[in-house]
Amino acid sequence: MGGLGKTTLAGAVFSQIFCRFDGGCCFVANVREESENCGGLVHLRDKLLCQILGQKLNLGTSHITPFIKRRLQSKKVFIVLDDVNSLKQLETLVGGLDRFGPGSRVLITARDKQLLLKFVVPNNIYEVKPLDGHEALQLFCNYAFKVDPIPKDLMVYAQRATNYAKGNPLALKVLGSSLYRNSEQDWESALHKLNKISKPKIHNILRIGYDAPDRKDKNILLYIGYFFEEEYRDHVIEILNSCYFSVEAGLSVLIDKSLIEILASEIKMHDLLQEMCWEIVRQESLNKPGERSRLHVHEDVCRVLRTNTVSVSMFGFVS
């Protein structure tokens, strides 16, 4: 499932061993999302080849020339393909493993084990498990308290929160961050919301994090989830400053709540949190997309424009 730390683990492995591969290394993040945008799979494959070969390429076709094949077969490379969700992606990006030189390694993260079984030797598949009780409690407390020792009066709540998250690191981080510096009453209130659900799902736990910031910061989060994920931080601040005060402070709040992070000056959001943003807006009007505050699905946009059913609020930012 999402949020277990597959990308984090792959990144840690990449950082530790990339120096052993003198033929070239490449970490391809968000394959699922990137293959649907920016020119598609062939464009993404060309970017990978550029990084491995150290030169600009724009083949524009799925066919790789014999010259490039010979160059790849002479290189010992290390490639990470993160968040793969189709066999075509694997075939286009790395093809047969004989495309690269001896000693090369390709590390793939995916949610679909059956997909990996079609492409990877079964013994080479590692299934990421949730954290055990002690590890889960430790991770939660790192974000909820950030001090040692942990306040004894809140330990019982920490245990309850950890049980709700079922060892999912993303849920533990978001829930812990949302409760940081809160009163005992706030902790009780947040956990009571989860307690009303017989089997809390990951989205319900993440929603606690969404409910923590104020209205302005919630709107900033939704805009990032819809339009600005992987955009440069300064660019997002420039756009949103025309509608809100203190956008930079709002981003800091969202970072503190573990709802977004900044990597290489780009705003990043976990795909589960992005899906949560989509669902929050979808719930504004289940059957009438034109009454929602934001749209991102092409079919919904075309339907609204074709039927002229857009709401007034959709023409501006909702504050």
The structure's pTM equals 0.76
Does residue 35 sit in helix, strand or coil?
A: coil
Rounded to the nearest 10 degrees, the angle between the axes of helix 133-144 and helix 152-165 is 120
CB 208 within 8 A of CB 171: no
**Domain 215-315, classified CATH 1.10.3470, yes or no:** no
Confidence of residue 148 (pLDDT cuts 50, 70, 90): confident
Res 188: pLDDT:
87
Asked whether residue 38 carries a pLDDT value surpassing 80, the answer given is: no
Phi, psi of 267, deg, nearest 5: -85, 125
Q: Rounded to whole angstroms, how far apart are CA atoms 112 and 178?
A: 30
C-alpha separations of 311 from 20, 208, 289 in Å = 56, 28, 9
Strands of the sheet containing 105-110, edge to edge, are 25-28, 78-84, 105-110
DSSP 201-259: -HHHHHHHHHHSS-HHHHHHHHHIIIIITTSBHHHHHHHHTTT-S-HHHHHHHHHHTTS
Res 315: pLDDT:
42
Helix (H) or strand (E) holding 299: helix 298-307
Rounded to the nearest 10 degrees, the angle between the axes of helix 169-179 and helix 271-282 is 70
Confidence of residue 106 (pLDDT cuts 50, 70, 90): very high
**Residue ranges per structural domain of the chain:** 6-124, 133-211, 215-315
pLDDT tens digits for 164-221? 888 999 999 999 998 888 888 888 888 888 777 655 677 888 888 888 778 889 999 9
Res 318: pLDDT:
39
Asked whether residue 316 carries a pLDDT value surpassing 60, the answer given is: no
Q: Which whole number is the average pLDDT over 68-75? A: 90
Looking at beta carbons, which pairs linking 194-198 to residues 24 or more positions away fall under 8 Å?
194/164
Confidence of residue 317 (pLDDT cuts 50, 70, 90): very low
Asked whether residue 62 carries a pLDDT value surpassing 80, the answer given is: no
Range with top average pLDDT, 146-155, 204-213, 281-290: 281-290
The 8-class DSSP code of residue 170 comes to H
Among 26-35, 110-119, 145-154, 242-251, name the one with the lowest average pLDDT: 145-154
C-alpha separations of 30 from 37, 109, 173 in Å = 11, 10, 21
